[in-house]
Every structure is written in C-alpha cells, then in structure tokens.
C-alpha cells in the first residue's frame, strides 16, 4: 500500500492548464494596459488644460487622448478575440 501511494505522489492532477495560465497572463497585461491608458488620458487632460490656447499644445493633447482611447479599444478587442479563440480550442 505504501509503494502505491509513493508512486502516485509525483502525479499532478490539480495543476492549471496552459490556457488557464495564458488567460491569467493576458488579464494581467490588460490591467497594465488599462492603467497606462488611464495615465495617458490624465496626462492628455493636463496638457489640454495647460495649453492656454496654444494650437500646437491643443493638438498634442487631443492626439494623446485619441491614442489612449484607441489603445484601450485595441486591448479590449484583443482580449475578446483571445477569449473566443480559447473557447474554440477548449471545445
């Protein structure tokens, strides 16, 4: 009886799957992307408020805000696409 328990001691049954680990990594990366995008939006708002009517600074602030929003959209779109692909391969 002791030999059988020792033989099965190295078997990993509760280990997370590769897709589960991948989804955890992607969720972490999405969180980092969202934090960076929020900081970019805050910086764009500060640039907009500090522009004092200067057209060049206004364009810079609007461009920064546009790229921050596009980054959020692409990150969320990528996450949705990867979740759909993950569901397809899980069956």
Please report whether residue 7 resides in a domain.
Answer: no
Q: Is the predicted pLDDT of residue 63 greater than 90, yes or no?
A: yes
Please report whether residue 4 resides in a domain.
Answer: no
- For the stretch 63-71, contacts whose Cβ atoms lie closer than 8 Å and that sit 24 or more positions apart, written own/partner, are 64/40, 65/40, 65/41, 67/40, 68/37, 68/40, 68/41, 68/44, 69/37, 69/41, 71/33, 71/36, 71/37, 71/40
Please report whether residue 29 resides in a domain.
Answer: yes
Please report whether residue 26 resides in a domain.
Answer: yes
Please report whether residue 48 resides in a domain.
Answer: yes
pLDDT at 4: 55
Please report whether residue 33 resides in a domain.
Answer: yes
Please report whether residue 8 resides in a domain.
Answer: no
Please report whether residue 47 resides in a domain.
Answer: yes
Range of the domain at 38: 17-90
Largest CA distance in the chain: 83
Any residues with CB less than 8 A from the CB of 40 and at least 6 apart, and which?
64, 65, 67, 68, 71
Work out how many domains the chain is built from and give that number: 1
pLDDT at 9: 56
pLDDT of 23-42, one tens digit each? 788 878 888 888 898 899 99
């Amino acid at each position: 009886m002791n030999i059988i328990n020792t033989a099965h001691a190295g078997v990993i049954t509760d280990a997370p799957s590769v897709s589960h680990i991948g989804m955890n990594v992607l969720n972490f990366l999405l969180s980092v992307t969202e934090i960076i995008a929020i900081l970019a939006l805050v910086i764009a708002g500060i640039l907009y408020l500090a522009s004092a009517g200067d057209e060049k600074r206004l364009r810079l602030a609007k461009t920064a805000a546009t790229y921050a929003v596009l980054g959020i959209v692409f990150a969320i779109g990528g996450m949705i696409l990867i979740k759909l692909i993950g569901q397809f391969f899980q069956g």
